[in-house]
Structure 1
C-alpha cells in the first residue's frame, strides 16, 4: 500500500496483491436509518462494505485498463454498527488505484425531499389560473377545484389473456392504468404450440381490446415497442442480429434491450450498468448507429437498495436513451418495498414509464398480485392506488387571491 502522485494529484495504490480483496480499507460506523450514496475514482473493481451481517456490495465498475473510472453506488444496512470499506478485483495481477472516495449519508426525510424536488422539476408545471366574472373582473376569494381525468405519466401492468373474457378484470385495469404489455401471449411457446403452426389469435384479440366499447377510455393503454430480453450474456452477433431483423420488419418501433439485476443487484453481476452499456454499444455498432433504441430494466426486486438503484439509473441515463421499468415486482409479503421502488422510479427524471409484472390469472400471478380473484386489492394493490392518488390532482382545491389568481403545480406530460 502506498501513496502516489500523478499530474499534481495524489491517490492510494494497493499493489503486490495476492487475493481478490487485497486493497485499501477504511473502518466506518454505519447507521440503520440512513441511506448512503457512494462514489470513488478507480480501475475496474467492486466496492464492498463488510458489516456485522456480512458483506454489502455498494456497486461495481467495469472499464478499460489504464484509465480512471467513476464507481457510483449506494447502500443501506440492516443494523447500526461498525463496517469496513474495501475493494475487490478478481485479477490479482493488477494494482488498485483509488481516489476521491465519497460516502454521503441521508436521512429518509432528506431522501424524500430530494424525490419531491425532482418530481417538481420533471413531472410538474406551475400554472396560474384567474377567476373572472361575466365582465372580466377578477373574483377574489373564489373557490377553485381541479380534477385530472387521467395520469399523464405512463404507468401500468402486464395483462394476461384472461382479460378478454372478464369484464371485472377489464374494469379494474382500465380504471387505473395507461400502458400495458402482454405477459406471455406473444412468446413463442404461446404462439407456436406445434412446430411450424403459428397461432396469433389470442394476442391479436388482446390488441383489439381498445375498440371494445367498455375500453374506449383506455384506448392509449397499448404502446408500440419491441423488447429483446436478457441479451447481456449473448454474443454480439446473436444479439445484434435480433435487433437488426426487428428493425427491418418495423423501423419505427423503439427496440428495448430488456435485462434484470441491472438496478436490483449491486454486486459485480453480468448485468451491471457498465456491462449493460457495453452490450448496448455493441448493438449500436452492429446497427451502425441506426434504429430507435431504448433501455428496459425489468425490476424484479428482492430487498431494494434504493441508493444503488438511483446511482445505477444515473449511469444508464448518460446513454441518452429512453428508460422504462418493464417488469417491476417485489416480494408480495413486503408491500412497502413496492412503495419504495415506485417512488424512486417515478421521481427519477430519466424514467419514461413503469410497467409492473402483475398480470392476473385464476391460478395466481407470476410473483406479485395487485388484486384477488374478486378484483379486490391486495396490500400491493393498495400501494398502487395510494400512489395513483398522489400522482394526480384528486381533491385539489384552492382560493383565489385579491386579484382573482390561484397558483399551483400540475402533473403534466414531460416526456417527448
Structure 2
C-alpha cells in the first residue's frame, strides 16, 4: 500500500456534540442528584410536575394525612416552608397526594426529606396503586438537621389515580418533606432524551481535511471510514462450552469485545477440594479471549453469600478461614495479573455477610487493598443485584450502594485505589421501571467512579415462566406457540429498554450481558438457538451493535477539502482516494472529549497513522 503521493490528509479538529434542548418542545430530563445532606432543600425539579403545592408555600393544601397521626406545615429558621407527619403509629403513617397517571408514561420522582431525630434512617416514597398495592419508588438515608434527596420514579401500567406517600420504619420519628416533584414523560419523549444523550456522550463530530502539500484543500477526494472496534465496551458472559464449540467461538468473537466468565474463575470452580487448585478451564478461556482481543472482567475473588463458598470453606472460621482466604486472593490475582481490566472483589456484599461475620467488618476494604496491591491494573469493583432492577430492595438501593463503596475506598490505604460500581442488572419479567433505573444511575454517578452493568439478563414471563425453555413446557399446542412467542417478544423489548437506558447514561462505561447461546445453557436470556440462529433477543443485540457504530462510505470532500461527520467513539480504518493520486489508508481513534462539555468546538488532534 502506498502513501498518498503528492497530498496529505489532516485531522483539523473535533467538534463536541452539544446537548441542546428537548426536541419537539418536550421538557428535558433533569439528571440532578446528590446524596449530601443539605441545610436547605433544592427547589422542586420541573417546578413539581403534576404535584399540587410541591413546595408547601400554600401550607398543606393538596395534601392529606395517610394512616394515623397528624400533618401540619412548618417553617425553617431561614423561612422555608415544609410539611411534617407526627404522632405516627405505623411506618407508612405520613402525608399523601393523589394524582392521575396515564398508562405507558414514565414518571420521574424527587423530594427532599428529613426526620425529627436520629441519623441515616431509611425514608422511601411509596405509590399506592388502584388495586391497593404499595410500590416503592425510591429511598434515601435521612437525618435530623439537614435535608436528603429521594430520587426515583415509576412506570405507569394503568391509567387512573395513584397515591404517593412516604414511609420510614421507626414510627416514633416525624417525617418532614419539601420540594416534591412527579414529572411525566411519554415513551417517545424518554426515547428522544436517550437519543440526545447518545449523540452528546457517545459520539463526536470530526472535521477531516485533505490538502495539497502547499496547504490548499483538495476537492473531490473520496473518504471511507470503517469502524473496527467500538469505543463503548458491549460484552457477554462466557462459559466453558466455548472451548469445545467452534460455532460458539465464531459467534462470540464476531460480536463482543469484553467478557466475564460466568463461573470459571470463582473459588468453587478453581479449588473444589481443599489444597487442589485447578485453573485449566479458566486458563484456556483467558487464552481464547487474548487471541481474539476480548477484554476480561475478573469474576470473582470472593462471594459474600455462604451458599456459594466451596463446600469445604463453609464451616471454616477465624484464623483457619482467614488463612484459606489469603491463599485464595494471592493465588487467583497473581495468576491473572495483567490479564484483566476489572476484578469483582467481594461479590454481593450488601446482601450477604459471610466474610464480615467471620473475619470482621473491614474485611472487604482489606481485600480491595490486597487485590490492588497484588495487581494494580484492574479496577476493583463492588458487584450487586437489585440496585437498578427492583426499587423494593432497600438493602442494595443506590444510596446504600454509594455509602458502601465510599466507605471501602475511604479505608486507610485505599485512598488512591480506583474502585468501580458493578450493577448486575438481573431484571424480572414485565416492563422496566426506567425512571427508577435512570435515577439510580444519576445518584451513583455522583461518586465519579466508573459504572458498569455487569450481568444483564431479563426474565421471560410472569411467575413460573422465567425462561424460554420453561415457557414451552408451561403451555401446550397452539397455545404454547402463541403465548410463548408473545412473551419472548416482550422479553426482547425489555432487554432493548435496559440496554438503551444504560448506553444513553453518560456515567455508564460498559455493559456485559449474562446471556448467550442455548447450546451453552443460557436459557433465561437466550441470544441464539441450538443452531446459532438469532432469537428475538439476539436480533435486539445485533440491531444495537449495528446502530451504535459508524461507517462512512465514500463521502466526498468539498471545495476546501473538508469533510465533516459524526462518529461514535472507537477505532477506525480510513481510506482516501482521488483521481490524481494513489489510494491511501490510515487508522483513526475517536475518543470522548475532555474538558468543558458545553463547548461548541475545541481543537483536539486525533491519532492518525498512515501506511
- TM tier relative to shorter chain: over 0.9
Judge which range, 91-100 or 351-360, deviates more: 351-360
Residue 45 of structure 1 is aligned with which of 87, 109, 123? 123
Matched ranges for 1:262-411 at <5 A: 262-288=387-413, 289-302=415-428, 303=430, 304-332=432-460, 333=488, 334-360=491-517, 362=519, 364-365=521-522, 367-394=524-551, 398=555, 400-401=557-558, 403-411=560-568
Q: Where in structure 2 are the equivalents of 1:72-91 lying within 5 Å?
A: 72-91=151-170
Q: How far does residue 131 in structure 1 lie from its aligned partner after superposition? A: 5.5
- Cα pair 2:112 2:147 within 8 Å, conserved: yes
Which whole-Å deviations, capped at 9, do the CAs of 1:299-320 have from their partners, x for residues lacking one?
Answer: 0011421111010011011111
Cα displacement string for residues 114-160 of structure 1 (whole angstroms, at most 9, x for unaligned residues): 112211221111112345689955426x7654321222211100101
Q: Is the 8 A contact 1:60 1:268 kept in 2?
A: no
Across the aligned residues of Structure 1 and Structure 2, the Cα RMSD in angstroms comes to 2.3
Q: Is the 8 A contact 1:133 1:139 kept in 2?
A: no
Structure 2 stretches lacking a partner, 5+ long: 1-70, 115-121, 298-339, 461-487, 570-590, 595-611
Q: Per-residue displacement from partner, 1:89-125 (whole Å, max 9, x unpaired)? A: 1110111101001111112222122112211221111
Deviations along 1:148-191, one digit per CA (max 9) or x if unpaired, are 12222111001011112222111111111111111100112211
Q: How does 1:55-204 map to 2 (within 5 A)?
A: 55-130=134-209, 137-139=217-219, 144-204=223-283
Deviates more, 1:282-291 or 1:327-336: 282-291
Q: Which deviates more from structure 2 when the two are superposed, residues 50-59 or residues 252-261?
A: 50-59
State the distance in 1 between where 2:107 and 2:527 align. 31
C-alpha spacing 1:341/1:72, structure 2 compared with 1 (3 Å): same
The residue number in structure 2 matching 1:13 is 84
**Gaps in structure 1 of 5+ consecutive residues:** none
In the alignment, the residues of structure 2 paired with residue 415 and residue 134 of structure 1 have an alpha-carbon distance, to the nearest angstrom, of 29
Is residue 160–residue 361 contact of structure 1 (8 Å, CA) maintained in 2?
no
Per-residue deviation, 1:66: 3.4
Cα distance in 1 for residues equivalent to 2:533 and 2:407: 46
Contact kept in structure 1, 2:231 and 2:568, CA below 8 Å: yes
SS of 2:392's partner is coil
Larger radius of gyration: 2
Report deviation, 1:2.
Answer: 0.5
Range with greater deviation from structure 2 (379-388 or 189-198): 189-198
Q: Which residue of 1 aligns with 2:366?
A: 241
1:36 aligned counterpart, secondary structure = strand
The 3 A distance-change label for structure 1 pair 207 and 93 is same
Task: Give the total of aligned pairs.
Answer: 411
Q: Is the 8 A contact 1:46 1:61 kept in 2?
A: yes
Superposed counterparts of 1:182-261, under 5 Å: 182-210=261-289, 212=291, 215=292, 218-220=293-295, 223-227=340-344, 228-233=346-351, 234=353, 235=356, 236-261=361-386
Inter-partner Cα distance in structure 2 for 1:164 and 1:203: 10
- 8 Å CA contact 1:352–1:415 kept in 2: the answer is no
1:270–1:397 distance in 2 versus 1, CA, 3 Å: farther
Deviation per CA, 1:45-90: give whole Å up to 9, x if none.
1101111242232111123343210100011111111111111111
